[in-house]
Each structure stands twice: as C-alpha cells, then as structure tokens.
C-alpha cells in the first residue's frame, strides 16, 4: 500500500461504550506533518481512560512515535489509563526496533481495551 507521509491524518474523537472512556481514532499516515492536532487532543485533561485507535493508520514516522511515547509518559505520570489498539505489523516492528514495544499498553481492538481498562 502506498503511503504519502505528507497527506493529512483523519482524526475522530469517539465516545467509548462507557462515559469514562474516550477514543481517538486515526486514519492515514501519522507523521511529523500532522501529529500536532492529535497530540493536543490526547493531552486534554479529560477524566478516564484514553484509547488511541491506530487500526487505519498506514504509517508512523519517528516523530509520531515520539508523540505516542509522550502520551504514554504523561498518562503514566498522572496515573491515567490509556491503550493503543489496532497496531499493525509495520508499527509493531517500528516499536520493537526502537525498544518501546514493551512499555506501550496495546490491545487488538477497542472492545478488548475497554474491558481491560475498566
């Protein structure tokens, strides 16, 4: 699949199945060109768990990976739960290559993540 890292990422904020769950669903490439809006959304001090749905993310560059690490660290610091879901093989190998696959909270889909974060 061809990806064009400069193309915009589509960001949707969805309600989870419970009021204390917020889902940010991303579609397209997540890169240095477009992760700022996502980062702002993810950093909003909303109560409850944050689920970042990467199912439709075609490509993640190192800047966007840094952004995901930042979310992990800030959620951990404020003792707020979060999860990444739908991480594809390419992203998983990037995580592994950078040695961060161990500390990300990853589930295969939103339903699993909601159950686990309850």
Q: Residue 105, SS3? A: coil
Nearest alpha-carbon partner for 15 in 67, 53, 43, 55:
53
pTM: 0.92
The CATH homologous superfamily for domain 10-117 is STAS domain (3.30.750.24)
pLDDT tops 80 at residue 2: no
Q: Where are the domains of the chain?
A: 10-117
Confidence of residue 3 (pLDDT cuts 50, 70, 90): low
Contact (CB, 8 A) for 69 and 100:
yes
Q: For position 7, what pLDDT does the model report? A: 80
Q: Are strands 82-85 and 10-15 parallel, antiparallel or unpaired?
A: unpaired
User: Phi and psi dihedrals of 92, rounded to 5?
Assistant: -60, -40
């Amino acid at each position: 699949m061809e990806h064009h890292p400069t193309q915009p990422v589509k960001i949707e904020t969805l309600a989870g199945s419970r009021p204390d769950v917020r889902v940010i669903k991303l579609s397209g490439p997540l890169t240095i060109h477009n992760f700022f809006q996502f980062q702002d959304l993810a950093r909003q001090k909303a109560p409850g768990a944050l689920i970042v749905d990467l199912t439709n993310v075609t490509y993640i560059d190192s800047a966007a990976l840094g952004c995901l690490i930042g979310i992990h660290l800030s959620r951990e610091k404020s003792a707020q739960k979060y999860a990444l879901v739908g991480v594809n093989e390419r992203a998983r190998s990037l995580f592994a290559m950078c040695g961060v696959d161990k500390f990300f909270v990853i589930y295969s889909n939103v339903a699993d993540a909601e159950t686990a974060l309850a």
